[in-house]
Each structure stands twice: as structure tokens, then as C-alpha cells.
Amino acid sequence: MRARFVLYPLSALTLIQPLHAEVYLSVEQARNLMFPGATFAQAFITLSDAQASAIERDSGVSVRDRTVHVWRASTGGWFIADEVVGKHEFIPFALALDATGAVKSVEILEYREAYGGDVRNSAWRAQFVGKAHGAALELNNDIKNISGATLSSKHIADGVKRLLATYAVAIAAH
Amino acid sequence: MTIRAHGLLPAAAQRAIDDAFTAVAHIHSCMSFHERESDVSRLNREAHESPVAVDSAAFDVLDIALRFAEESKGVFDITVAPQLVDLELLPSPAGASRPDPAATWHDVELLPERRVRFHRPLWLDLGGIAKGYAVDRAIERLIAHGATQTSVNAGGDLRVYGARTEHVLLAPDTYGDGVPVIEIENGSIASSEPRAHTGSHRAGSFVSVIAEDCVVADALTKVVFARGRAAAPLLVRHGAAAHLYNSRTGWQHFGAHLSGPHAPALLAS
């Protein structure tokens, strides 16, 4: 065991971000926010090798987790809880798709990094609304980057692209 | 309570975390002062009349508690429940005789085959140590499932395991000079709530104790809260360090050195 007590002077606090996780929304809260009034039927999918390869080829993004945590909304559309890597920690987020598989909204559930939390900014997230499978989602070209949050914004954009491909490959067929 | 587990695939992580939660729930139900059928409640009702057999976890916790009572010369005392009931910090246990005012922890006797007897009617409260014990058991389960980096945080009693240094923000009522963070690997931190511990003249103090085992950290917070710096020899004996804050004296640090030769660090502004 090793332990060290460190006191950060209050005057330095504007430079130092909180070291604990910010939990913004639970999965349940995000679901109800993104699909008000709906009930949800769990429809988790375990991707086969073929499906994972197809998603990776299609989106150019690797599939880290073969389990897709997806729920069908009673009011139409799909809710997916996923996570991407930030700089040091995972960023859990949620994606709402309408009945045609286009993005309704993106919500960040938790943010554990010391900086880069601007991906939570609603104007930034609004850039994804309406994007469907096949849409260009390149950072800086199609999705504006956020200074100081480059890695997080790239990975969220990649995550959305991967999930749109996942929808086309594994969900739309159901 | 928050449990984090890394180094496992999601399904395995879920199983590990569920197992850890189950362990904690079991300990809570054995040791609850409030629940009628917990081991503690049965002892409080019956053990002064005849020996009562208890769960192995409850017996283990009693053993640890009595050893801390001995080592702290009664400063750590699981028989203070009557005073806590009188202060309305605990409800009166249903169906239990009034405790003998002269009863102390010396009147709790551990017998073979996990039986416990009280020499006088008394009320036990294991709340000062059960949470730390539960955290230790939860961490054991997580490690057994193969987690490489894991932490259990039960409302301020926490334990971390793994090679990575975790940063824990302490939360006294006011920050005073600065924001206190413990950088810790493979250890536990327990912090006192400013509950009106009987005999304490340190109202408004905040105490964090660092030790390898959470049950040890948990028990020692009570001793540090009551005795302050005088608890240092007991801390050293258990390889533990204490950080005590109140607005009058600021931060004080005593006990074992846990970070090598350095004293606690105050970062230059």
C-alpha cells in the first residue's frame, strides 16, 4: 500500500479540474429524456465475427465490445448505451435513433476526464442530429472539433459512426 | 455504494460486481442494528440469557471489534449503543431489555462454535466497523473474479486495489487552505462523519484514516476522532496514517509514514 496526502491550494483550483467523475445521467434517465413517455424493450445483440467485421469495414472504427446494449422504444426508434475511450478513461454515452435509423440525439452520461468535458455541450452534440448511416462524420470537416477536447470529440464522432453502421448491419434487419 | 472494476470483459465485470454487492448485502443484514432478525438484534435480545450462535462474518467482526477495544483501552467501544439511543442517533432495539449501565465491552464473550454470550444485558452496535469490513469482503470478491484495478466506495469508506494510483478527494465541511486529495494504491480510506460520538470534544473535526484494510481504517477513525494525536501509537502499530482537520488548527497528520520518507505534500501555489 502507498498513500500520499496532497493539498491543492484553493488559488490553483481554476487550473485543476475535479478529479472525481461527473455523472450526468444514468442509462434510465437518458432513455426517458431522449424518448419521453416511451417504454423500452431490451433487445441486446451479441455481434458475430461477420457482423463485427462488416461494421469495422463500413465505419473504419474498431469494435471493442461485441455486446450492443440496445432497447427498442415503444414510440418508435432505438436507444443504445455505449462508451468510447477518452484520453484516460471511458466516456459512457447514449445514442437515440429514430425509426429510420437516423440520429435523434446524443447524450454524454458520465465524464471522468480532467478536461475535454465540452463534448457535453449541447450545441456540439446537436451536430449529430439527423445523421444516418452513410453520412460523413469526419471531425473538422463535418463535425466541428472542440479545442481542448480533440480526442474526446473524435472518439464520440467515431462512436456515433460505428453505431450507425451497427444499426445498418445488426439492428435494422430485426 | 459505488463499485468499479477494470480488467474484465463486461459480462464478467457484471458478475464480479453483483457478487461484491451480494457480499455487502449479506454483511449488512447480519449486522444491522435496526433489523429485527439480524445477528446483532438477536444478540441484543438474547445473549445475556444464553449463548447465541452467529454467522461467521458477525463473529469475525466481533472478534476484530473486541481487539480494537482492548488496544484502544475502550476508546473504540461497540457497547455505546445505549448512549447513542439516548442521543436519538439510534432507535431503541425492539424487544431488548434495558442494558445494564455498568456493562462494557468486557462483558462480551466469544465462545467456540461462533457463539456469543453477554455477561450483562447490553446493546451492541457494529456500525462503526461493519461497513469497513464489508468493503474488505467486496474487494476480495472482485479480486477473486480477476479484476486488475478495482475500487469499492461505501459512502466514504473505500478501498482500492491495483497497480494504478487512485486519487480520492476528501470532503470536510469547509476546505480551509486547500483541497485535500489522497493519492493511494492498494489501500483503504475511512472518514468520520461529524456524528456526535460520545465523549468527543472535537465537534466540527473531520478525520480520514488510511490503512491497508478498510475495517482497520474504519475502527481507527473513531479512536482518532476521540483522542487526536494521542492515537498515533495505535495508528503506527496498524501501519495506518490519520489526517485530521478542523477550522481552528487546519490539517494535522500523524501515524505511520505511508509514502516513503516524505511528509505530506503541500503544493506550492
Choose among A2, A18, A19: nearest Cβ to B259.
Answer: A2
- With a cut of 90, say whether residue B64 has pLDDT above it: yes
- pLDDT tens-digit map of A156-165: 999 999 999 9
pLDDT at position B143 is 96
CA distance to partner chain A, nearest, from residue B196 (Å)? 26
Give a three-class secondary structure readout of chain A: CEEEEEEEEHHHCCCCCCCCCEECCCHHHHHHHHCCCCCEEECCEECCHHHHHHHHHHHCCCCCCCEEEEEEECCCCEEEEEEEECCCCEEEEEEEECCCCCEEEEEECEECCCCCHHHHCHHHHHHHCCCCCCCCCCECCCECCCCCCHHHHHHHHHHHHHHHHHHHHHHCCC
pLDDT of amino acid A22:
66
Q: Which is more confident, B34 or A70?
A: A70
Q: How high is the pLDDT of residue B255?
A: 94
How many angstroms separate the CA of residue B103 from the nearest CA in chain A? 38
Give pLDDT tens digits for B134-185: 999 999 999 999 999 999 998 889 999 999 999 998 877 677 778 899 999 9
CB-CB neighbors (< 8 A) of A85 in chain B: none
Q: What is the pLDDT of residue B177?
A: 73
pLDDT in tens, A31-78: 999 999 999 999 999 999 999 999 999 999 999 889 999 999 999 999
Cβ–Cβ under 8 Å, residues B19 and B168 = no
Band of the pLDDT at B16, cuts 50, 70, 90? Answer: very high
As for the ipTM of the complex, it is 0.82
Which chain B residue has the Cα nearest residue A16?
A: B179
CA distance A32 to B101: 55
Tell me whether B172 touches chain A (CB under 8 Å). no
**B177·A18 Cβ contact <8 A:** no
**How high is the pLDDT of residue B261?**
52
pLDDT digits (tens, 9 = 90+) for B234-265: 999 999 999 998 877 888 999 998 876 544 54
Q: Which tens digit of pLDDT belongs to each residue from B65-81? A: 999 999 999 999 888 87
> Could you identify the residue written with the cell 500523524?
B254
B78-127 pLDDT tens trace: 888 777 777 777 777 877 888 888 899 999 999 999 999 999 999 998 98
Q: Answer yes or no: is pLDDT of A14 > 70.
A: no
Report percent pLDDT > 70 for chain A. Answer: 80
CB-CB neighbors (< 8 A) of B182 in chain A: 3-6
- Which residue among B183, B266, B267 sits closest to A3, beta carbon to beta carbon? B183
Residue contact B178–A8, C-beta within 8 A: yes
Per-residue model confidence as pLDDT tens digits over B184-216: 999 999 998 654 444 444 556 889 999 999 999
Chain B residue numbers touching A20 (CB-CB < 8 A): 169
Q: How confident is the model at residue B267 (pLDDT cuts 50, 70, 90)?
A: very low
Mutate to test the interface with A, among B181, B184, B207, B212 (most CBs of A within 10 A): B181
Q: Report pTM.
A: 0.62
- Rounded to 5 degrees, φ, ψ at B5 are -140, 130
- Specify the pLDDT at position A43: 93
Residues of A within 8 A of B257 (CB-CB) are none
Mean pLDDT of chain B: 87
What's the pLDDT score for residue A20? 55
- Which residues in chain A touch residue B241, judged by CB atoms under 8 angstroms apart? 3, 5
Query: Is B181 within 8 Å of A8 when comparing Cβ atoms?
Result: yes
Q: Does A147 score more than 70 pLDDT?
A: no
Question: Does B269 contact A11 at a Cβ distance shorter than 8 Å?
Answer: yes
- Cβ contacts (< 8 Å) between A1 and chain B: which residues? 184-187, 210-212, 239, 258
pLDDT in tens, A98-123: 999 999 999 988 876 655 667 777 88
Q: Please tell me the number of Cα atoms within 13 Å of A94 on its side-chain side.
A: 22
Residue A16, phi then psi, degrees to nearest 5: -115, 125
The alpha-carbon gap from A142 to the nearest alpha carbon of chain B, in Å, equals: 32
A19 and B169: CB-CB below 8 Å?
Answer: yes
Interface of A with B (CB under 8 A): 1-13, 18-20, 65, 67
Residues in B touching A4 (Cβ below 8 Å): 182-184, 258-259, 262, 264-265
How far is it, in rounded angstroms, from Cα B165 to Cα B143?
Answer: 17
Distance in angstroms (rounded) separating the CA atoms of residues A19 and B35 = 37
